[in-house]
């Protein structure tokens, strides 16, 4: 029995060392987009925990932080902000955000066109 435990320990040590070396050499990937609280903000809004005006203020502040870091807003950020502007009756701001979403993410064109048509 002692021999089996010794063999296991003898095998586990090199495996642990190899894993730690491989982990240490791993490169850290950076995110393509800067989310900066966007997902929790959307979640709070849909749970009814914040008003559209509070949500707009939070997203505008998040947008400023993202731009200050010279990063990119994630998909849906501008669309969500545009929908919030539409909710509070700011059609021009809503149209601007939806149009920017469409320009930045062409795959959203059909849906953004639909939303823009509802603003008429």
- pLDDT value at residue 32: 80
Domain presence at residue 19: no
Confidence category of residue 30, pLDDT binned at 50, 70, 90: confident
Please write the tens of the pLDDT for every residue from 77-111.
999 999 999 999 999 999 999 999 999 999 999 99
Domain count, the chain: 1
User: Is 80 exceeded by the pLDDT of residue 19?
Assistant: no
- pLDDT value at residue 31: 77
In degrees and rounded to multiples of 5, residue 7 shows phi and psi of: -65, -40
Domain presence at residue 31: no
CATH code at position 100: 1.25.40
């Amino acid at each position: 029995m002692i021999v089996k435990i010794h063999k296991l320990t003898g095998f586990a040590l090199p495996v642990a060392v190899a894993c730690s070396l491989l982990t240490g050499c791993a490169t850290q990937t950076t995110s393509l987009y800067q989310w900066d609280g966007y997902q929790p903000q959307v979640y709070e809004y849909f749970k009814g925990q914040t008003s559209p005006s509070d949500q707009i203020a939070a997203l505008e502040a998040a947008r400023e932080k993202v731009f200050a870091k010279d990063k990119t807003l994630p998909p849906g950020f501008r669309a969500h902000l545009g929908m919030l502007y539409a909710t509070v009756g700011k059609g021009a701001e809503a149209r601007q955000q939806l149009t920017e979403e469409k320009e930045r993410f062409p795959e959203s064109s059909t849906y953004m066109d639909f939303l823009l048509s509802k603003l008429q």
